[in-house]
Structure 1
Amino acid sequence: MKESKQTDSYAHILKYTGLFGSMQGLSILVGIIRTKLVALILGPDGVGLMSLFNSTIRLLGDTSQLGLPVSGVRKISYAYEHNDQESLAHHIKLLRSWSLVTGIVGMILCVALSPLLNSWTFNWGNHTLHFMLLAPIVALSTITGGELAILKGTRRLRPLALISLFQVVLALIISVPLFLLWQQTAIIPSLLLVALSQMLLTIGYSYRYHPLRLSLQPDFLTQGNSTIRLGIAFMLAAMMGSGAEFIIRLFLNTRGNLDDVGLYNAGFMMTMTYAGMVFTALETDYFPRLSAIGNDTKQQNRLINRQIEVSLLLLAPLLIAFLAGMPIILPLLYSSKFLPALGMVQPAVLAMYLRALTLPLCYVPLARGDSSTYLIVEGLSAVAIIVAVGFGFTHWGLTGAGFGILVAGLADFFVLTTVAFRRYGYRMNRSNIGYTIFHFLLLLCTYAVATTTQDWTYWAAGFIFFLISAAFSWRILRQKTGDTSPTP
């Protein structure tokens, strides 16, 4: 029975990691087309300008949402897991009501702060009106986040996967024609129309399962105080994360220029978004299950170790292929103008590997309701990446920024593993330690080859390292899921 449960658990993690990973892969294929076209149409400075506006939206959205898209999942998931329909309906209604309130607050906040945002962000021109026009996008994104939290908490995994795909398709269909017609002038209209379409798509799925019910009565809203308290901690942490991204881009824009911002954003997107498709299952499937466990340390350790194991085994071969193929992938996704970002992307790929180890641990304080610990850890992470990237860019340009991301990733790893061990009793099992060392050595070898050779030995070595990593991962995953059939 115990072995059967283990097989079911590994199979579940692999199934939904595969589901969201494959959907993310399809989304990325569509996104590649959009990114390529946008890069060709707008160029590095246009991509940098859009990056600054997107960073502003994320920062204000994270501020106004009060962390509800995450803290709301915890309550809804617990009620769903224990089949408490009355509590489930109550928390869904509460989350929707608060999402509407915070969306309106975020919109007002964006308008009020527009003059300050203009003076902080740009040292040329007056973009106050542009920041004011971002206000409806903040509200739409907040409502979308609340509905996605409901779908996550009630384990509507297939609709969530489809939404993630359709959102990218809509972004392609809407934004590219606008950019072709009006170039950089179309950036804000495209952001607004994309946000509106994504909200309509999300509520179309969510309302189908849970019809809209709202209450803005103060007595009702105050019932969400415990969720708000945890959410505020997440909000502050998210603000620090978004603020760190914002500060880094401001620093690059003032210390360098808008082209540097565009190149950095391209490299950041490639490593943190494209290479991170395996991580999409974590927030959608893993976090609700971790929240439902409660304070059971034994079950917690088993779930965390299995999630880390599957993430490592799936991600390592992809990162090796990604690292080896970067000279082709970078101009393919963007254009040859973005090749200066190559030196940044290569060390940042190594940071993505460390993220497979740390991201499952990031959710433990949230699942436990330990808001203060989560806030401290995320604050240290934000400070680390600002200092490391700023120092690296100042001394070695974009390549230094890439090494800064790697150094910040190492700092995250040591802080999170120490906190998880001392505060929550987490122990990484021996097999995960072995897998971590094995694949990291392969990644280091791939990086060494990628930065020292250019002839056919580069491609041959990269292909060999990929085959070794993929074969190893395939063998282990087959064993863990109980597949004893011969290898095809």
Structure 2
Amino acid sequence: MEEQHSHHSILKATGIFGFVQLLKMVVFAVSSKLVALFLGPIGMGLVALLQNVLQIILALTSFEFLKTATREIAIKKETTFATTVNLLFQLAIGIGVLGALVSVLFGLFFNKIIFTTSLPFSWYWLLILYFVFTSISNVYVAILQGVNQIKTLAIFNLAVSFFTALGSVPLYYFFRTEGVIWVVIYGALVQLVLAYLFTRNYTWQFNVLSLKELKIMASPLMQLGFFMSINLIFGQICFLLIKLFLTQTFHSTAIVGLYEVGNVILVNYLGLVFQAMSYDFYPKLATINDDNSAVKSLVNKQMEIALIVITPAVLFLYLTGPYVIELFYSHSFLPAFSILKFALLSVILKAITMPLGYIILAKGNKKQFFKQELLGDFLNVTLSILFYHYFGLEGLGMAYVLHYAIYALYVYFVVNKSYAFEFESALKKLIIVNVNLGMGAALALFFLPQYHYFVGVLVVFSVVYSYRALQQRVDLKKLFTK
């Protein structure tokens, strides 16, 4: 009964975010189609590079604030909630100001090494608003995640997506590439306003802490965040190196636009399970991090639900990927499907690796988390450049698969040795079946001229298999009736 309840809870969170993700996809489909038409591959490449710069600055200055703040609230929500939130807000202000300073001081440096055409330096001054808004809104979001307000968090994410798209489309229409900076600031402002509105019922008082108090209280949190932020910095630099390599190879940002479209499809369209992990699974894992048996049980169940839900979606995209790209973007973005031919398989592997990685994070093992993420970043940039050199766009997809496979083996070895974590027999069966389904679809695209029929059969089989597997774990009739 307890096991069924755990599966039910995980499926509920996944279902809520899945439904929200579906609605977000509708919003995104309309807005991205218009933006792609307004900007084209070159403009989309510029957006991708600017977003990469923002992520690097955030990595340098934020100390992975959202994740560490979420963990802190999840652990202390029953004891010192108000004190914790007060501390987090003061840290957020400092982090926002630090990000703003880095943006202004290093703007010329970013212009010189990243962009083929220099951005107006005034953009880096305007980004001050972005970093301050983002840092403060992260505290509000951490509150929702830490207290496990799944429905509220899901509605919040949908509202952010809707209102951001509502304002972004006219900005891109009237200003084209000049509107990129205004879209960035507008999106951060929307998130801040909505985050405040969705958390206004949580009470706390802002009491200014002395530097000594701030140092003592924030030290454990910032130490963990420091190691995580180093990983984030390496990760964003690696993505930037890949994009710069592609840009220099073609002397244009158009190829980066294709790479970005592939990433968006992998992250946004197939991201419902991974959103549920970060918003629901991770805070739960943090609260039980001292109990290895409970950790093992929860992680196994999360992987089961993730594989059951994600594999049919992956196979469906194998069948419909080109149509999805043309629908959401335009015909000029169709070459991006070459990346997805193998990259879609990596999403199934990610359903295994991501919960394993969260074990280390929930445990607060900062040194091990640093090592495993450093390995992942190294594999990402090395394999991507190497495989692209020999196999072109399809090689980027191959790199995704090999990256996640090696990473999964390494992290499993670590958590097995350190925390006695093991895959349960039911999960092992799911892994074997679903990975083979994904491999079958990927190989069909390369070796079968009429691959649609074969992949269509795999889609039907996957849906039936996933339904039966889900029914064994959750009383679906009771769930849907409720």
Q: How does 1:16-55 map to 2 (within 5 A)?
A: 16-55=13-52
> SS of the counterpart of 1:137?
helix
Contact 1:118–1:131 (Cα < 8 Å) also in 2:
no
Match in the other structure for 1:11: 8
Select the residue among 148, 154, 173 that pairs with 2:147.
154
- 1:319 aligns with 314
User: How do residues 51-200 of structure 1 correspond to structure 2 at under 5 angstroms?
Assistant: 51-80=48-77, 83-84=78-79, 87-125=80-118, 127-200=120-193
CA drift of 1:454 comes to 4.6
Cα 1:59/1:434, change in 2 over 3 Å:
same
1:238 lines up with 2:235 in the alignment: no
CA-based RMSD of the aligned residues comes to 1.9
CA distance 1:183–1:6, shift in 2 (3 Å) = same
Query: Could you say which residue in structure 2 is the equivalent of 1:225?
Result: 219
Equivalent-residue separation in structure 1 for 2:130 and 2:52 (angstroms): 12
Matched residue type, 1:200: V
> Identity over aligned residues, as a percent?
25
| 1:258 matches 2:262 | no
CA distance, structure 2, for counterparts of residue 126 and residue 24 of structure 1: 33
Distance 1:365 1:43, change over 3 A: same
* Distance apart, 1:138 and its partner CA: 2.1
Cα-to-partner distance string for 1:134-170 (whole Å, 9 max, x where unaligned): 2321222122222211111111221110111011111
Partner Cα separation in structure 2 for residue 132 and residue 389 of structure 1: 33
Q: Distance in 1 between matches of 2:397 and 2:460?
A: 26
Deviation digits for residues 156-187 of structure 1 (CA, Å, limit 9, x no counterpart)? 22111011101111121111111111211111
Quick check: 2:303–2:355 contact (8 Å CA) kept in 1?
Answer: yes
Which deviates the most, 386-395 or 302-311? 386-395
Q: 1:108 to 1:214 in 2, by over 3 A?
A: farther
| 2:423 aligned counterpart, secondary structure | coil
SS of the residue 2:392 aligns to: helix
1:208 aligned counterpart, secondary structure: coil
CA distance in 2, matches of 1:294, 1:126: 45
Is 1:440 the counterpart of 2:435? The answer is yes
5+ long unaligned stretches in structure 2 = none
Q: Which residue of 1 aligns with 2:386?
A: 391
Shift of 1:216: 4.8
Aligned to 1:289: 284
1:436-471: CA deviation from partner (whole Å, max 9, x where unpaired): 11111111222222333454xx33322221111111
Q: Structure 1 residues 297, 112: CA separation in 2 closer, same or farther (over 3 Å shift)?
A: same
- Equivalent residue number for residue 249 of structure 1: 243
Partner Cα separation in structure 2 for residue 128 and residue 408 of structure 1: 37
AA aligned to 1:45 is I
CA distance in 2, matches of 1:379, 1:451: 32
Preserved contact between residue 24 and residue 280 of structure 1 (Cα < 8 Å): no
Contact 2:83 2:204 in 1 (8 A): no
Query: Which TM-score applies when normalising by structure 1?
Result: 0.94
The residue correspondences of 1:292-441 to structure 2 (distance < 5 A) are 292-441=287-436
Tell me the amino acid that sits aligned with residue 47 of structure 2.
M
Structure 2 partner of 1:475:
468
TM-score after normalising by structure 2: 0.95
Using the alignment, how far apart are the partners of 2:28 and 2:233 within structure 1? Answer: 26
CA contact (8 A) 1:78 1:291 kept: yes
Residue deviations 1:301-338 (CA, integer Å, cap 9, x gap): 00000000000001011111011111211111111101
